[in-house]
Amino acid sequence: MKKFWNEKAETMPEEAIKASQLAKLRETLTWVYERVPFYRARFNEHGVTPEDLKNLEDLARFPFTIKSDLRDNYPFGLFAVPPEQCVRIHASSGTTGKPITGGYAREDMDQWGECMARTFWAAGIRPNDICQNTYTMGLFTGGLGFLLGTETLGATLVPAGAGQTERQIILIQDFKTTVIFGTPSYALTLAEKAAEIGVDLRETFLRIGIFGAEPWSEEMRREIEERMGITAMESYGLTEMGGPGVAFSCAEKRGLHINEDHFIAEIIDPVTEEPLPLGEKGELVLTAIRRRAMPLVRYRVRDLTRLYREPCACGRTLLKMDRVAARSDDMLIVNGVNLYPSQIESILLEIPEVSPQYVIVVSKKGYLDRLAVDVEARREIYDLGEEKLREIEEVIRHRIKGVIGLSAHVRVVPYKVIERSEGKARRVVDNRH
């Protein structure tokens, strides 16, 4: 049985990857310069043309694309082909303002399917697997992206869609589902519902899960593996780059391999906007070099990570990135202290009595900020009485103070008070503004 979906592409020597990136990048810069008035104007303002790209480092001379550029050019202003020549148009829901649109030409579907099939193969999925897709199959890129990947690989897809958790569990049992796709927070919802109705997911045929679309901690990954009896793998991507498929985990479960022959990744200092060397943490910037309907150049993703190249025991030579624990937009500043929700998650999940259902609430109290963390305990803990719950609150408070340096109001709330996720979980409520 083959070890890689695309051995040649996934194990190329670094020099060969770079040579192919340079050629594809040149093609893409010319493509957008000639076809997208926005890019022509932007490049001209910066005094660069595609001919100025002599080597990969020259990419840093080109301007960034940012989220508001997509909003300002909504819906099709950044398309390099007329919308009627696209075979698909997706959009991200977006919490504020207009959604982000993404067009796909015929060859973009092939590119996407290829990247997804690599993700699946690396996770251990094979053509005889039955994959249950709990991502919403609509405008969101998760659902149809995972569908495309399953079809490309030749496995079986059960398009269950989001929600209807009890029915999902019945399908897992009746269809002998072996693979589950969804957000990490939905995996928890599933595991919890299964326990409630007396189904032990560890005794089903489930063996692999591919999760993504939201940040999750290493502790959360282990929790999911344990509760579902599966290997929890990961997919990373975003609507602006076509959806999931940008990067994927391998059997090493350390970091994600970037599909470098499709996307060029850079890390910049979010404040100075200067490129940072490999190994340093900063903001991810991506350029799609094989997409045709809407290839974005130097797109500032806002996700924080680190890039590194190391010989991976899986045999892939593709550049690696750390799992994305936070978006720069997610950073809360509470009484002057920087706080990422993932830090709270890691602390909570190290406490055995606590469940991964939590919400962080920030509000104003006079001139000061007030940080509150509501969390549920594991079900059986509630039987131990109020005193035990207060004790747990104290432990959490103490840890948060010790690790982050903030005083938090911690409440162990009754079971099921925290809203269960069917897609991307909402972990933060900021009531200060």
Binding site for ligand DLL (CB under 6 A): 92, 135, 141-142, 212-215, 234-239, 243-244, 301, 303, 323-324, 327
CB 215, min distance to ligand DLL, A: 4
38 token code pair: 């926005």
CB 162, min distance to ligand DLL, A: 12
CB 355, min distance to ligand DLL, A: 21
Nearer to ligand DLL, 234 or 260 (CB): 234
CA–CA separation, 366 and 371 (whole Å): 13
Q: Which stretch of DSSP H or E encloses residue 390? A: helix 386-403
Nearer to ligand DLL, 320 or 323 (CB): 323
Nearer to ligand DLL, 22 or 425 (CB): 425
Residue 169 neighbours by CB distance under 10 Å: 20
Nearer to ligand DLL, 79 or 135 (CB): 135
Nearer to ligand DLL, 113 or 237 (CB): 237
CB 415, min distance to ligand DLL, A: 27
CA–CA separation, 276 and 377 (whole Å): 41
160, 168 in Cβ contact below 8 A?
yes
Nearer to ligand DLL, 262 or 327 (CB): 327
CA–CA separation, 100 and 90 (whole Å): 8
Phi (first) and psi of residue 331, to 5 degrees: -65, 130
CB 327, min distance to ligand DLL, A: 5
Judged on CB neighbours under 10 Å (0-12, 13-18, 19+), 329 is exposed
165, 201 in Cβ contact below 8 A?
no
Amino acid type, 241? M
CB 234, min distance to ligand DLL, A: 5
Nearer to ligand DLL, 50 or 282 (CB): 282
CB 304, min distance to ligand DLL, A: 9
CB 394, min distance to ligand DLL, A: 31
CA–CA separation, 64 and 200 (whole Å): 49
CB 216, min distance to ligand DLL, A: 6
Closest-CB residue for ligand DLL?
A: 212
Instruction: Provide the β-strand partners of residue 157.
Output: 131
Nearer to ligand DLL, 141 or 165 (CB): 141
340, 325 in Cβ contact below 8 A?
yes
Which of 400, 395, 350 minimizes the C-alpha distance to 372?
A: 400
Nearer to ligand DLL, 390 or 426 (CB): 426
Nearer to ligand DLL, 134 or 399 (CB): 134
Please give, one letter per residue, the 3-state secondary structure of 286-345: EEECCCCCCCCCCEEEEEEEEEECCCCCCCCCCCEECCCCEEHHHCEEECCEEECHHHHH
298 token code pair: 């130097």
CB 94, min distance to ligand DLL, A: 9
Question: In sequence order, which ranges of 36-129 are alpha helices (DSSP H)?
Answer: 37-45, 67-72, 106-123
Look at the block and give the residue holding tokens 């022959």: 261
CA–CA separation, 359 and 389 (whole Å): 17
CA–CA separation, 261 and 63 (whole Å): 21
